[in-house]
Structure 1
Amino acid sequence: MTAQLTEPAARAWRADPYADALRVGRGPLYLRRQDGWLLPLEVERWCAEPDAADDTVLARCTGRVLDIGCGPGRLVAALARLGRTALGVDVTPEAVARTVRAGGSALCRSVFDPLPGAGRWDTVLLIDGNIGIGGDPAALLRRARELAAPGGSLLVETAAADVDERVDVHVEDGNGGRGASFRWARLGTRALCAGAPGAGWTPHGTWQAAGRHFVHLTR
């Protein structure tokens, strides 16, 4: 049921505006809510080398690492260069292709599809707002718990605002290109920490870096 829940989103992220932006490595690209509100998507940062905030995430990665919604794969590639076992998962073929070209390993699948190493990943990542995948954070947290090893970690990037919302959005490029509508979620740190125990996760700590917000959960 959860896999079916995310299929419209999977199709939307494969749509031309997002795939085209990844192909050239730059925006503009946005998530637009039905009421007109826009969330800029940081394509240039995603396609660049890890920045100082990303380095704080990489420093907390232990053992085998699974990056859910890896995008163009900057974190997976960085871990590979360090000789670490890391796998990215993304529904967009162009994202997977960029990850592989950067030297990382990635699969073109939904997180709700069967994945290798389920129950054995020491660190699972939900970075760049990917806690929103599927528009159901509780379902995503439960799925991440299935993938993580006993005692494993989940590192989540949260919204800077104190927000807890489920919305219909679409991807657009500001030049007339538009993808299909799908469900998305945005969670701030407080909302994530409040909901994590019900999905089998214990808040272990929070931190901020370069204006970005993160939570470390343990299984």
Structure 2
Amino acid sequence: MSGTVPNRSVLTPVPPDSRHPDTAHPGTAQPDNIAPWSTDPYADALRNGHGPLFLRRADGWLLPLDVERWCGGADAADRSALRRCEGPVLDIGCGPGRLVAELATHGHRALGIDVSETAVAHTLRIGGSALRRSVFDPLPGEGRWGTVLLIDGNIGIGGDPHGLLLRTAELLAPGGLLIAETVSPDIDERVQVRLYDGRRAPDGAGGPDRADAGHFPWARIGTPALLRYAQPNGWHPVDQWVADGRPFVALRRDRRVRTVSQSADTANSAAVISSQFPRKTSGDSPLAGS
């Protein structure tokens, strides 16, 4: 689980040639606003394999983050989502990489993206493929992915479910599948939060946090709310289920919807995506384990 605060301008389509897989270089500069998920509390929790780690609202409300589960292997609830995947899979906010590693173990083509260098490095160490990239950056294989995953609360990235669904539609092939984990019950909440490890004194201790103290927008979305956002925008629900108390939704992108980044000819899409999978490189966006 790792996201970024989207700059509104990046939700606007950019020229197709700048988003073609062949030009989505791993060294793409990271925008300044990805800093929250690259800070010490998150990186330390991933290195240690456990929390405490929270999303902390300005009024002091805490949402615990399940770092231990993220750093473990895929569990039964995860596998209930993974077995529904179709074609090459893009895991947005892959965190320490348990999902892409599980898919790789079973021979499934999968790529994780995360803005945290620590998360990407962990993913590579356990056998997954990953790029250090925001979902709002140019990405390999845009318009050609068979499945996109938004698990572990990542439907909340950017605090704008509508904008995130638009971006996800750009990434998927026509008829592609989005598998999202939601929250229970029917919540549709936008909040300003910051990462907090429960040990460091938050800014503004003794009162509400300062509005400028590293906060970023996040959303918490239940299944009914997600469906309300999705259905008017070319998404069709194909499955809903609960596994180990975790609610999931599978949405299919309308085959008639096309985006500016999608090639008219998708016959060779698998080969194009395959060419973008990890190979050894340098810089802050590692593409291969070693």
If the TM-score is normalised by the length of the shorter chain, which range does it land in?
A: over 0.9
Give the counterpart letter for 1:120 in structure 2: R
1:80 aligns with 2:104: yes
Answer whether contact 1:142 1:200 (CA < 8 A) is retained: no
Question: Hey, what's the Cα distance between the residues in 1 that align with 2:178 and 2:201?
Answer: 34
Deviation at 1:161, TM superposition (A): 2.3
Residue 51 of structure 2 is aligned with which of 27, 37, 41?
A: 27
Q: Secondary structure at the match of 1:144?
A: helix
Residue 136 of structure 2 is aligned with which of 109, 112, 118?
A: 112
- What TM-score, normalized to structure 2? 0.72
Answer whether contact 1:196 1:202 (CA < 8 A) is retained: yes
Residue 90 of structure 1 is aligned with which of 114, 129, 137?
A: 114
1:209 aligns with 2:234: no
Give the counterpart letter for 2:143 in structure 1: G
What is the aligned partner in structure 1 of residue 145 from structure 2?
121
Question: Hey, what's the Cα distance between the residues in 1 that align with 2:6 and 2:192?
Answer: 17
**Unpaired segments of 5 or more residues in structure 1?**
none
Deviation at 1:35, TM superposition (A): 2.1
What is the aligned partner in structure 2 of residue 4 from structure 1?
7
Question: Hey, what's the Cα distance between the residues in 1 that align with 2:93 and 2:45?
Answer: 16
Q: Which of the two has greater strand per residue? A: 1
Question: Hey, what's the Cα distance between the residues in 1 that align with 2:68 and 2:174?
Answer: 35
Q: Secondary structure at the match of 1:60?
A: coil
CA 1:66–1:164: 2 relative to 1, 3 Å: same
Question: Hey, what's the Cα distance between the residues in 2 that align with 1:107 and 1:180?
Answer: 24
Give the counterpart letter for 1:29 in structure 2: L
Deviation at 1:9, TM superposition (A): 5.5
Question: Hey, what's the Cα distance between the residues in 1 that align with 2:107 and 2:223?
Answer: 31
What is the aligned partner in structure 1 of residue 37 from structure 2?
13
Moved runs in structure 1, 4+ residues, more than 6 A?
A: none
Answer whether contact 1:8 1:182 (CA < 8 A) is retained: no
How many percent identity over aligned positions? 61
Question: Hey, what's the Cα distance between the residues in 1 that align with 2:86 and 2:201?
Answer: 40
Answer whether contact 1:65 1:122 (CA < 8 A) is retained: yes
Question: Hey, what's the Cα distance between the residues in 1 that align with 2:141 and 2:201?
Answer: 37
CA RMSD of superposed structures (Å): 1.6
CA 1:135–1:68: 2 relative to 1, 3 Å: same
Give the counterpart letter for 2:54 in structure 1: Y
Question: Hey, what's the Cα distance between the residues in 1 that align with 2:179 and 2:188?
Answer: 18
Cα deviation, 1:119-156, whole Å, max 9, x if unaligned, reads: 11001000000000011110100000000011110000
Deviation at 1:8, TM superposition (A): 6.4
Cα deviation, 1:150-205, whole Å, max 9, x if unaligned, reads: 11100000012211011100010000166821000000000001111233311112
Give the counterpart letter for 2:114 in structure 1: D
Question: Hey, what's the Cα distance between the residues in 2 that align with 1:199 and 1:168?
Answer: 26
Question: Hey, what's the Cα distance between the residues in 1 that align with 2:109 and 2:219?
Answer: 29
Q: Secondary structure at the match of 1:134?
A: coil
Q: Secondary structure at the match of 2:189?
A: strand
1:174 aligns with 2:198: yes
Answer whether contact 1:70 1:76 (CA < 8 A) is retained: yes
- What TM-score, normalized to structure 1? 0.95
What is the aligned partner in structure 2 of residue 137 from structure 1?
161
Cα deviation, 1:37-58, whole Å, max 9, x if unaligned, reads: 1110000000000111001011
Give the counterpart letter for 2:147 in structure 1: T
